[in-house]
Amino acid sequence: MQTIITKASSLPWWKNSVIYQIYPRSFQDSNNDGIGDLQGIIQRLPYLEKLGIDAIWLSPVCRSPQDDNGYDISDYQDIDPMFGTLEDMDKLIQTAKKYNIRIIVDLVLNHSSDEHRWFLEAKKSKTNPYHDYYIWKDGTPDEKPNDMLAAFGGSAWEWVPELQQYYFHQFSVKQPDLNWENPKVRREIYDMILWWMDRGVGGFRLDVIDQIAKEPDQGITSNGPHLHEFIQELSRETFQKGDLITVGEAWGANTENAKLYSNPDGSEFSMVFQFEHIGLDQQEGKEKWDLAPLDFIKLKNVFHKWQTQLYGCGWNSLFWDNHDLPRIVSRWGNDSEYRVESAKMLATLLHGMQGTPYIYQGEELGMTNVCYDIQDYRDIETINLYHERLEKGYKEEEIMHSIHVKSRDNARTPMQWSANDYAGFSTTEPWISINPNYVQINAESQLQDPDSIFYYYQKLIQLRKKYSIFINGQFHLYLDEDPDIMAYTRTLEDEVLLVICNFHNITRTIDLPISIPTDHQLLISNYSDSIDASTLRPYEARIYYFKK
Ligand code: GLC
Ligand code: CA
C-alpha cells in the first residue's frame, strides 16, 4: 500500500512540486525576430503540462538594456519589449493558472541597471535624493577605494568624473549595486514586490541574494552582517502576505546559514540554491574555468551532508542545471554513446532526494553543451573571460577548452523543439546559434518515443506526487567510498525507497547495501531489463520501493 498525499495535509504546496526553469530568450520565439518571448511560452504551456511540472521560474523579463541578458533591470514594473508587454505577462500568469502552473518571477535586487531611473538620478549629484540608493566612494581617478574585483572581470569600482566618486558593482559596470542599508531602497523594493504579488505570481527567485548586505569597506560581499536581518524584513513585508514559493540564490550558502534561509517557520525563504556540489570540478581556490576532474566521492558526501543536516529543520532545492551552468549530461554524464542512459541516471539520482527539484529547459530532453568559436558566444562573462585570459598570456586553446566545458552559453542555446529549420524555435536566425544536434535531439521526436528522456522525467515527477516518502523520507547514504556507485535510501516508518545509480561508463557488481524483499516494486529504471539486482551496467539507475 502506498501512502497518497492528501489535500488535507499541511504540507506547503512547493514541497511536493517540481519547478521548470525557462530562459525566455531561448525558449520559444512567437513573432520571428529570433528571440524567445512571452507569447512563445504561452504556446508551449501544453508541453509543460504534459511534463507535469507545477511552476515555471522565469529568468528576468523586465525592461533591461540586456547587458547581462536581463539580469540588469532598468524598470522592475514593466516588461522588456523584446519579450512582449505587461498584458502578455498577465496573460501568461492567467493562462498558466488554467494548466495548474504557477509563475515564479526572478527578482534581481542586489543591483539594478545603470539605466534604471534611480541610477540616472543618483548620478546627477551627491545631494540628489537617489544618490544614496547606490554605494559611492570619494576618491581620485588613479586610486581605487580598494582592490575588490567584479565577477565579470576588472575592478568592482567605476569612476564617475562628474561626481569625483566611484560606484560599486559586483557584476558588470552596467550593474551598480543597490545600497540595502538605505531604508528607502528597501521600501521601494517591497512595494514593487507587492505589486507583482497583486498580479498573481506564484513566487520569486532571488538573484544573488546573499550579496545584498555587502560591506565594501571591509571587502565583504556575501554573507554580510545584516544579511538575515534584511531578508527577514523583506519576507515579513512581502512574501509572508501570500502563499508563495521563494528561493534565494546563495553561492555562499552552507548548511548552517541554509537553516536560517529555509527555516520552516517561514521567516526567510522557502529554500535556497546552494552550489557546493557545483564547484566540485574546479581547482580548489581557483575559478570555475580552472578545470579539475569531478571528485565523485566528494559529490556524494556533499549531498549526504545537505540531505541529513537540513532534515526536519530546512529544505533543499535540487538541481543540476540552470542558465549559468553547463549541461549536466555533458558535464558529469556521457553525451555520446550513453547520452540517454546517463541523462536518466542523473535525473534519478537528483529526484530521489529530499527537496524541490528544478528542471532547466531542455534538461528533460538531454540537451548537450556546444562547442562554438569565440565569435558565436553571446555571454558577457564568457567574452570578458576570453579577453582577460588572452591578455594574461593563457593559450587560446586552453581558454576555449574551458569555455566549451563551462560557458553559460552552453545552457542558453535555443530550445530544440523539432528537426525543422531553427529547431522549431523560430523561423529566422536566432540571437545565438542552435546546437547542431537538434536534428537528433528534440522534443518532437522524444514525445513519440515512450522510452525517451522526456517520459522518464514525466514518470519521476508522477512518482514524487504519488509516494509521499519522496517528500518526507529520511536520507541514508550507503557505499560512501564506492568510486562509481551512489546508493541511498529514504525511509519513512516501515516504507523504504532504495535509489541505486551507477555514475560511470563501466559495469559494476556491488554488495547491495540492504536486502530487497521479493515483494518489492521497481518504481523506475533506465534499462528495460535487469541482469540481477547487484549488477549495474553503464549509468544504470533504479529506484525500488518496499516495506521493511
Ligand atoms: C546570478 C544570475 C546570473 C547573473 C548574476 C548577476 O548569478 O543567475 O545569470 O549574471 O546573478 O545578476
Ligand atoms: Ca520574439
pLDDT at position 9 over 80: no
In sequence order, what DSSP letters do the residues of 185-222 get, joined into one string? HHHHHHHHHHHHHHTT--EEEETTGGGTT-BGGGTB-S
Least confident range of 4-8, 161-165, 410-414: 4-8
pLDDT for 279 beyond 50:
yes
Longest dimension (CA), the chain: 78
Q: Are strands 55-58 and 19-22 parallel, antiparallel or unpaired?
A: parallel
531 has pLDDT over 90: no
For a mutational test of ligand 1's pocket, the pick from 104, 175, 208, 360, i.e. the residue with the most ligand atoms closer than 8 A to its C-beta, is 208
Give pLDDT tens digits for 467-500.
Answer: 999 999 999 999 999 999 999 999 999 999 999 9
Q: Using a 6 Å cutoff on CB, does residue 319 contact ligand 1?
A: no
Kindly tell me the burial class for residue 488, based on how many C-beta atoms sit within 10 Å of its own C-beta (0-12, 13-18, 19 or more): buried
Domain locations along the chain:
117-168, 473-547
- Whether residue 148 contacts residue 155, with contact meaning beta carbons closer than 8 Å, is answered with yes
Task: Give Cα 293 to chain centroid, integer Å.
Answer: 22
Look up the CATH number of domain 117-168.
Answer: 3.90.400.10
pLDDT tens figures, 383-423: 999 999 999 999 999 999 999 999 999 999 999 999 999 99
Residue 140 C-alpha from the chain's centroid = 40
What is the rounded CA–CA span in Å between residue 34 and residue 430?
4
Average pLDDT rounded to a whole number, residues 440-444: 98
Q: What is the pTM of this model?
A: 0.97
Q: Are 82 and 37 in contact (CB under 8 A)?
A: yes
Closest ligand by atom to 426 CA: 2
| Chain segment 126-144, per-residue pLDDT in tens | 999 999 999 999 999 999 9
Q: How far is the CA of 37 from the centre of ligand 2 (A)?
A: 5
Burial letters 376-389, b for 16+ CB under 10 A, else e: ebbbbbbbbbbeeb
Cell readout for 274 is 546552494
Nearest-CA residue for atom 9 of ligand 1: 324
* pLDDT band for position 464 (cuts 50, 70, 90): very high
The ligand that comes nearest to the alpha carbon of residue 34 is 2
Q: Residue 41 CA: which ligand is closest?
A: 2
Catalytic residue (one of 80, 249, 268, 335): 249
pLDDT at residue number 530: 80
Separation of CA 345 and ligand 2 centre (Å): 35
The one-letter code for the residue type at 18 is: V
pLDDT value of residue 234: 98
Protein residue closest via CA to atom 4 of ligand 1: 71
Beta strands 19-22 and 356-360: pairing type?
parallel
Q: Which band of pLDDT confidence, cut at 50, 70 and 90, is reported for residue 7? A: very low
CATH of domain 473-547: 2.60.40.1180
- Lowest-pLDDT range of 8-22, 173-187, 272-286, 475-489: 8-22
Query: Residue 426 — very low, low, confident or very high, per pLDDT cuts 50/70/90?
Result: very high
Instruction: Mention every residue, 6+ apart, whose C-beta is less than 8 A from residue 543.
Output: 348, 352, 463, 497, 498, 499, 522, 523, 524, 525
Which residue type is seen at 215?
Answer: E
**365 pLDDT above the threshold of 80:** yes
Which whole number is the average pLDDT over 264-279?
98
pLDDT of residue 170: 98
Residue nearest to atom 6 of ligand 1 (CA): 71
Cβ atoms of 246 and 55 within 8 Å: the answer is: no
Question: Is any ligand 1 atom within 6 A of the Cβ of residue 207?
Answer: yes
Catalytic annotation on 388?
no
Tell me the sheet residues that pair with 329. Answer: none
Mean pLDDT for the chain overall: 97
Contact of 103 with 114, CB cutoff 8 Å: no
Q: Is the CB of 71 under 6 A from ligand 1?
A: yes
Residue 207 annotated in active site: yes
